[in-house]
Amino acid sequence: MAWILNLETAGTNCSVSLYKAEELVAIREDNSPGYSHAELLHLFIEEVVAEAGIVLADLQAIAVSKGPGSYTGLRIGVASAKGLCFALDIPLISIPTLESLARQITPAEGLIVPLMDARRMEVYTAVFDSDHKQMAPTVAKVVEPDSFLELAQKGKVHFLGTGTSKCADVLEHPNFIFYPGLFPSSREMGKLAFDKYQRQAFENLAYFEPYYLKDFIAHGGKNPGK
């Protein structure tokens, strides 16, 4: 079965997990607010591989959270993933950060709206249904009192992620439900990565870049990727 290493560095959480197909075997995380990625990422990689009793050469693929999120965090994660893929001659898989974040909750009904904190009153966000199917594109959105009201007309709206606190202070509607304290983790990446591995939905190692979103909006013409 496929051994897949998953790296999540889009936010403050430095998270590394190792999956054997769809089974979580080992995970290491540190959500220090000062961004510990540069110091801890490779240590965590060594630890999860050792815990599983394998070596790096046993890996079949590496998955990385592609964004949107912190510019520095994404650069560190992608650079590390690409370096390992080149060295081991294995494929690179990218996982949209908001998609894996959305999978941290499984409401019976309603919409799931993951929120990644951006500067000031801005968030990176997308909309998913209760089966985690994306219903609206990923955007950078300024949070105002009337933000997301159109979604509330359709039923419950479940907010989670690092942008939740700023939204909870501004948004008011009986259908709005907030899940504080949740943030992107490599734990939710494993099954998504294995699905892509089976479909051979791999990235081009030479040209793959993180999905910064703001750069794409600001400058235009840049393909945000799959």
Could you tell me the domains of the chain? 3-97+184-219 (3.30.420.40), 105-179 (3.30.420.40)
Q: Phi and psi at residue 223, in whole multiples of 5°?
A: -75, 120
Residue 35: the pLDDT is: 78
pLDDT tens track for 29-72: 999 887 789 999 999 999 999 999 999 999 999 999 999 999 99
- Residue bearing tokens 């040209």: 207
| pLDDT above 80 (res 225) | no
pLDDT tens track for 74-118: 999 999 999 999 999 999 999 999 999 999 999 999 999 999 999
Residue 145: the pLDDT is: 95
| pLDDT above 60 (res 222) | no
pLDDT tens track for 120-144: 899 999 999 999 999 999 999 999 9
Contact in structure between 115 and 161 (CB atoms under 8 Å): yes
User: Residue 89: which of 49, 59, 63 has the closest Cα?
Assistant: 59
pTM of the predicted protein model: 0.92
